[in-house]
Amino acid sequence: MRDPRSKTTATAENALTPAERDAFLMGETPLVTRFSTIRPDGWAHTAPTWYWWTGTHFLHALGPGRRHLRNVAENPKVTECVDIDQRADGSGGRAAAVVCFGEAEIVDDRDEIVAWSGKMLERYLGAELAAQYLQFAAAEIDHGRRLVKVTPVRWLTWDYAKVD
């Protein structure tokens, strides 16, 4: 096995296939994305965010106060990073990531916002808590809760387990 300190982050040998990427993004254990948008001053605004991967788009249900909504309205270019690094806990486990460079749009359709919010809440909180939170999320739509749909333009992926 190669010295792990010598690994380049992303190579052709350790890249995920589209099927592996999709399985990673919607695996049994929900992960968060580091969702980055561009602020008016040119600096990136990055925050961990829940997501749903449809197989063609990332979806985010965001409350009215989220900076991401204002930024996407001004500049649709976004970057997302979903990753796992089990080496950090000393177990020597998996280190993998999916980085998506994409174009975002804000979706205002109430039915879509409620439906996708419900799916995300259930994925991250479980059915019982999701039902409670969905009532709050639905009420928030009238105050600016929106769905952000990200269309991938380019990918960067890696899984160190693919290369010994």
Evaluate whether 147 touches 116 at the Cβ level (below 8 Å).
yes
Q: Which fold has domain 4-162?
A: Pnp Oxidase; Chain A (2.30.110)
pLDDT per residue as tens digits for the range 8-28: 678 888 999 999 999 999 999
* Domain edges within the chain: 4-162
Instruction: State the CB neighbour count (10 A cutoff) for residue 98.
Output: 24
Tokens 């808590």, residue located:
129
Strands (E), the chain: 33-38, 44-49, 52-53, 58-62, 77-85, 95-107, 146-159
pTM across the whole model: 0.89
pLDDT per residue as tens digits for the range 68-100: 999 999 999 999 999 998 887 777 778 899 999
